[in-house]
Chain A
Amino acid sequence: MDSPPSSRPTDRMETWLSPEEWSAVRLSLQVAAVAVAASLPLGVAVAYLLARGRFWGRGALDAVVHLPLILPPVVTGYLLLLFFGRRGPAGAFLEAHFGLVFSFRWTGAALACAVMGFPLMVRAIRLSIEAVDRRLEDAASTLGASPAMVFLTITLPLMAPGVIAGVILSFAKAMGEFGATITFVSNIPGETQTLPSAIYALTQVPGGDAGALRLTLVSVVLSVAALAASEALARAMKRRMAAP
């Protein structure tokens, strides 16, 4: 029997990283992707409300959204544990009605990352909504576009650069989130041990330095890639709609 070809990149990665380290990388990417995808619609909605809404309690909403940015991450994690733990009000409800469990699961890590990245996402999107020329929206409405169509065909495409910036920021935040995650869902290899948690764990054991260094390198590469992707996208956007 032939040995499997060893030239595939994942194989090389798997031989370079230990199985635990590799699973931390994979888990981090999964947690960050789910956190960003699940929070994006809410992020756009909240950013729109904050940018355009005139309602009572707008200041309070603004404060709540920004809270994770200023609270110590451990506090945010502990609050998540209180509310979304199995005995917390939200956690018990979600488990009873949707079978959704957060505590000590990767879903909980995604929730923690989404909450921590939310203020960054909302800020970026909000700025881009405020930059959209409302006179273009008026023009679209005189051409027969309903408010929903105006949003989909004019506002959303014009604020796309901000949405992309928000997605990248919140993805990067999720890849690096540590304090809230470890407080809320602990540091369980294969379930909740993301890249930062794995690096932290490796630095706590004798002889873990080499592993910590390898994961650090992966972290740096992923961050630089995210930054490069966002720059490239921003340039493409700018080309597409150079100032009117």
Chain B
Amino acid sequence: MTLRVNIRHRQGEFTLDARFSSDGGVTALFGRSGSGKTTIVNAIAGLVRPQEGRIEVDGAPVFDSQAGVWIPPHLRRLGYVFQEARLFPHMSVAQNLLYGQRFGGRTARGGASLADVVELLGVGGLLDRRPADLSGGEKQRVAIGRALLSHPRILLMDEPLASLDEARKQEIVPYIERLRDEAVAPIVYVSHSAAEVRRLATTVVLMENGRVTAFGHPDQILAEAAGDTAESFGAATPVLPGSVMAREAPGLLRIATPAGELLVAGNGAQGEQIGVRIAMNTLLLAASAPSGLGACGVLSATVTRVEDGGGAWQGVTTRIGDADITTRATRAFIREHGIVPGRTVYIVVTKAWAESSALNAQS
């Protein structure tokens, strides 16, 4: 699945000018309320017609102002889970779930069956009930199931947890994680909650006043959004040159760097040259090659400098490509393992993401 959005829309004082793309996983539209997130999702779904631009799903436009393309919402095959579940009050839960299957073209395709969805979302005991008799969390689960059963190409979710209390949120989040991890459907997820985005998203589109101000891995974007890039990741987050070896999962790339392979968050095609940023303050220095780690990967590099600041900790700098990578180690460790310039050391990387080239690559 690929989704490309490039739209401009004016509503009174508010101007939306948004451009981003997604190729699977959970793409979170993140920003304050009023930043235009919902308008974007409505435009993707076809409930709002932007004044200008183009929206493309799997290579085919569903909207193109120049070519005069406008596909009405019922023909787009995009599922939508709204903030308020919007269940049909005159139908039972089962009728709500199966509503999308009444319409031609959707039933013939494979995809989740009622039994699958009932199992996935745990709504088996609710089927005969009316929406009025459900709790908020149950309603939202039924709404997710109803959207999934229409076999959408993309699942759009607009603040699906915002109207729920904390306990209900905790009840829903695992189900959304299952959708993501079992790759049931690619998701575009609107939220203003950093905690939700951190937990669910594979890619984040940061929105401010109707504009996309950043695009990339949740750790990076959330840190930038919070304005603490330097604090969280070290003043200079170095860029290593890399090339994409494989796409391991939506939003997860295996990248070869001159110093070793890394599993990195990001989007890109196989063979693409791509820069890798690593979070400096999360690096671990090892004297011999470690194995069996659940980290992004291990880089091996030659020490160029050992700094003696006089304290218990010393900085050990290595050079990979054009980047100086500095890690910290205790004085005892450096003495014991003979860490001197010229020696090979191993650097365990726990947080890394691909350069957000996708935003700039499309025009």
A interface, CB within 8 angstroms of B: 133, 135-136, 138-147, 149-150, 153-154, 157-158, 240-244
Contacts and interface: CB of A to CB of B under 8 A. Distances in A.
A218 to B, nearest CB: 37
A241 B89 contact: yes
B80 A139 contact: yes
Contacts of A146: 74, 103
Contacts of B84: 135
B78 interface: yes
Given A142-B80, A144-B77, A242-B130, A158 B72 contact: no
Contacts of A141: 46-47, 72-74
Q: Which 8 pairs of residues, A with B, have the shortest CB-CB distance?
A: A144-B103, A143-B100, A142-B80, A241-B89, A139-B86, A242-B132, A244-B89, A141-B73
- Indicate the size class of the contact surface on chain B: 20 to 34
A144 B146 CA distance: 11
B89 A143 contact: no
28 contacts: A133-B86, A135-B82, A135-B86, A136-B88, A139-B80, A139-B88, A140-B99, A141-B47, A141-B73, A142-B80, A142-B147, A143-B74, A143-B103, A143-B146, A143-B147, A143-B150, A144-B103, A144-B105, A144-B150, A146-B103, A153-B102, A157-B90, A158-B90, A241-B132, A242-B89, A243-B89, A244-B89, A244-B132
B106 interface: yes
Interface in B145-174: 146-147, 150, 156
A144 B130 contact: no
Interface string B64-102: 000000001111111110101011111000000001101
Interface of B: 45-47, 72-80, 82, 84, 86-90, 99-100, 102-103, 105-106, 130-132, 146-147, 150, 156
B74 A142 contact: yes
B144 to A, nearest CB: 13
B35 to A, nearest CB: 21
A71 to B, nearest CB: 38
A138 B99 contact: no
Contacts of A150: 74
Among A133, A139, A144, A149, max chain B CB count under 10 A is at A144
Contacts of A243: 89, 132
A168 B45 CA distance: 40
Contacts of A140: 88, 99
B88 A145 contact: no
Contacts of B47: 138, 141-142
A154 to B, nearest CB: 6
B194 to A, nearest CB: 27
Contacts of A139: 80, 82, 86, 88
Given A142-B150, A145-B99, 17 more contacts: A139-B86, A139-B88, A141-B73, A141-B74, A142-B47, A142-B73, A142-B147, A143-B99, A143-B103, A144-B103, A145-B74, A145-B102, A147-B74, A149-B74, A149-B102, A150-B74, A154-B88
A150 B131 CA distance: 19
A72 B88 CA distance: 44
A158 B86 CA distance: 13
Contacts of A144: 74-75, 77, 100, 102-103, 105-106, 150
A29 B252 CA distance: 74
B134 to A, nearest CB: 9
Contact of B90 (A145, A147, A240): A240
A244 B106 contact: no
B103 A145 contact: yes
Nearest to A139: B86
A135 B76 CA distance: 18
A149 B103 contact: yes
